[in-house]
């Protein structure tokens, strides 16, 4: 009901409204689902190879009930005229950190964990969620809170309840490394400083940590497969693997046993290989993908989430190997594309400041790296829907799917940067932004 309240409030006012103390208005909503017709000048539905001209999308409540070329809207239905725009499925970012606001240097990171309370960070995360939604991201997979414990479960819940605007979420809560392998590090042993992850040791410890995180609301388990990335004489980006084989396997097995999935941070070739051996569901970053590993990731059907935006953003500030890693990832991306690796769009937003960079920039990198605009659009809609297990609910504009729509006034198939200028956003039938008149 609250979602519908949002919808009508926003439609009436044409802008975001926050519920004040007078939130009782939502009780007055009737049970009948609201019917909306959207006229799309061009519809990129996520399925077809070319756009559908003059499409009519009929929506009832949270769902799309029909999509037809042409056709007339039934009488008495609210009409949204996007006839001068291109309509697409809502975007999905499969790698974000709502609880983080940029960490080019370790100092940026430490300050957030040491000087900001978790409640303060949670307030900023609500702001970040609104920014993401306004940029067209109707769904996100948030891959760990970076020391903010289970606050991602709270932001997910607040969004789902319609208390704050934001994308629909799947969350990973705390992430895991063995003891001592993730910041905050380097402080006096006399001080108890917060940790960016949950330290997890041993097979029993791994299973217990998975159970604990799932108990508190984790949809995904994330672990750090590696650290200390470095080039060796073979020209390959190597790394130090964090968990023993037994520990990594225990994390994955236990997570799968509980019906959840595993995302592994893996940058160097050794970390990627270890994560693939442990049977994770997605490889995050993956700069060190070698030809053999690309074959392996394709063969296993594991998803790759490249997060190019963050790499390009932090490289100048971090220097060293980071610039070289951006070039390396570009080459890996081009090879992976030829091998039909399942590439799901992910940006690592939060690793860069939500206020500075629009996540949709990632689409442009993918086109720059060799995808067609249509492939890039699919990597941010259809492919992530598969990764999240929601193919039957979202990712395409089709009957039975959630009514998650975005619209742009230019042609994204000619200029992919159009996706950075989203003018209309609907999530589950509720309009959150409409600048098209």
Helix (H/G/I), strand (E/B), else coil: 293: helix
Closest alpha carbon to 102 in 116, 85, 91, 88: 116
Report the site for Zn ion in 185-244 (rule: CB under 5 A): none
Q: How many CB atoms lie within 10 A of CB 15?
A: 11
Helix, strand, coil fractions of the chain, as percent rounded to 5 = 35, 25, 40
Residue nearest to Zn ion (CB): 348
Place of tokens 């309009």: 431
Q: Distances from the Cα of 169 to the Cαs of 61, 125, 133, 137, in angstroms?
A: 20, 12, 11, 10
Q: Identify the helix (H) or strand (E) that includes residue 369.
A: none
| Stretch near Zn ion under the rule CB under 5 A, chosen from 8-16, 178-186, 189-197, 347-355 | 347-355
Closer Cβ to Zn ion, 267 or 374, answer by number: 267
Buried b (16+ CB within 10 A) or exposed e, 276-299: bebebbbbbbbbbbbeebbebbbe
CB of residue 172 vs Zn ion: minimum separation in angstroms? 10
Closer Cβ to Zn ion, 306 or 412, answer by number: 306
CB of residue 349 vs Zn ion: minimum separation in angstroms? 9
Site string for Zn ion, 294-333 (x = CB under 5 A): ----------------------------------------
According to DSSP H, which parts of 242-306 are helical?
245-257, 269-277, 291-300
CB of residue 50 vs Zn ion: minimum separation in angstroms? 35
| Stretch near Zn ion under the rule CB under 5 A, chosen from 14-22, 82-90, 345-353, 376-384 | 345-353
Return the DSSP state at 33: P
CB of residue 264 vs Zn ion: minimum separation in angstroms? 11
> What residues does 169 pair with on adjacent strands?
140
Closer Cβ to Zn ion, 45 or 348, answer by number: 348
Write down the number of H helices and E strands in the chain: 13, 18
| Stretch near Zn ion under the rule CB under 5 A, chosen from 61-69, 274-282, 343-351, 382-390 | 343-351
CB of residue 107 vs Zn ion: minimum separation in angstroms? 18
Closer Cβ to Zn ion, 181 or 374, answer by number: 181
- Contact status, residue 397 vs residue 43, Cβ threshold 8 Å: yes
Closer Cβ to Zn ion, 154 or 348, answer by number: 348
Closer Cβ to Zn ion, 45 or 142, answer by number: 142
| Stretch near Zn ion under the rule CB under 5 A, chosen from 75-83, 236-244, 348-356, 397-405 | 348-356
Report residue 26 as tokens: 């939502």
CB of residue 290 vs Zn ion: minimum separation in angstroms? 22
Closer Cβ to Zn ion, 63 or 321, answer by number: 321
Place of tokens 């309840």: 161
CB of residue 351 vs Zn ion: minimum separation in angstroms? 6
Place of tokens 């939502």: 26
CB of residue 266 vs Zn ion: minimum separation in angstroms? 12
Closest alpha carbon to 138 in 412, 380, 409: 380
CB of residue 365 vs Zn ion: minimum separation in angstroms? 16
CB of residue 226 vs Zn ion: minimum separation in angstroms? 13
Q: Distances from the Cα of 72 to the Cαs of 59, 77, 103, 336, in angstroms?
A: 14, 11, 51, 44
348 touching Zn ion, by CB under 5 A: yes
Closer Cβ to Zn ion, 260 or 265, answer by number: 265
Q: How many residues bind Zn ion (CB under 5 A)?
A: 1
Closer Cβ to Zn ion, 86 or 96, answer by number: 96
Site string for Zn ion, 98-127 (x = CB under 5 A): ------------------------------
- Contact status, residue 97 vs residue 351, Cβ threshold 8 Å: yes
Closer Cβ to Zn ion, 128 or 396, answer by number: 128
Site residues (vs Zn ion, CB under 5 A) = 348
């Amino acid at each position: 009901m609250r979602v519908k309240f949002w919808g009508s409030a926003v439609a009436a006012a044409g802008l975001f409204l926050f519920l004040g103390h007078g939130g009782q208005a939502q009780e007055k909503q009737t049970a009948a689902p609201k019917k909306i017709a959207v006229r799309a000048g061009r519809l990129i539905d996520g399925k077809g190879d070319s756009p559908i001209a003059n499409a009519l999308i009929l929506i009832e409540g949270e769902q799309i009930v029909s999509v037809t070329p042409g056709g007339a809207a039934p009488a008495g239905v609210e009409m949204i005229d996007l006839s001068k725009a291109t309509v697409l499925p809502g975007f999905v970012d499969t790698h974000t950190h709502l609880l983080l606001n940029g960490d080019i240097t370790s100092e940026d990171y430490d300050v957030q964990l040491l000087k900001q309370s978790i409640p303060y960070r949670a307030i900023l995360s609500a702001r970040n969620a609104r920014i993401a939604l306004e940029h067209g991201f109707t769904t996100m997979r948030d891959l760990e809170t970076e020391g903010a414990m289970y606050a991602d479960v709270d932001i997910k819940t607040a969004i789902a309840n319609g208390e704050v605007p934001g994308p629909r979420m799947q969350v990973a809560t705390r992430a895991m490394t063995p003891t001592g392998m993730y910041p905050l590090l380097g402080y006096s042993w006399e001080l108890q400083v917060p940790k960016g992850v949950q330290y997890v040791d041993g097979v029993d410890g791994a299973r217990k940590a998975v159970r604990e995180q799932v108990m508190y609301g984790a949809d995904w388990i994330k672990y750090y497969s590696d650290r200390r990335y470095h080039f060796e004489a073979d020209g390959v980006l190597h790394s130090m693997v964090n968990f023993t084989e037994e520990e990594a396997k225990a994390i994955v097995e236990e997570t799968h046993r509980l019906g959840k999935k595993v995302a592994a941070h893996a940058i160097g070739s050794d970390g990627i290989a270890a994560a693939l051996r442990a049977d994770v569901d997605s490889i995050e970053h993956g700069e060190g993908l070698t030809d053999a590993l690309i074959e392996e990731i394709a063969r296993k059907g594991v998803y790759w989430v490249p997060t190019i935006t963050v790499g390009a953003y932090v490289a100048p500030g971090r220097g060293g190997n980071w610039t070289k890693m951006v070039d390396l990832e570009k080459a890996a991306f081009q090879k992976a594309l030829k091998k039909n690796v399942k590439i799901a769009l992910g940006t690592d937003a939060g690793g860069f400041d939500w206020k500075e960079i629009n996540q949709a920039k990632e689409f442009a990198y993918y086109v720059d790296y060799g995808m067609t605009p249509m492939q890039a659009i699919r990597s941010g809609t259809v492919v992530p829907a598969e990764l999240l297990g929601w193919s039957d609910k979202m990712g395409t504009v089709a009957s039975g799917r959630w009514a998650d729509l975005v619209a742009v006034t230019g042609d994204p198939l000619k200029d992919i940067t159009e996706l950075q200028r989203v003018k209309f956003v609907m999530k589950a039938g509720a309009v959150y932004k409409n600048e098209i008149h």
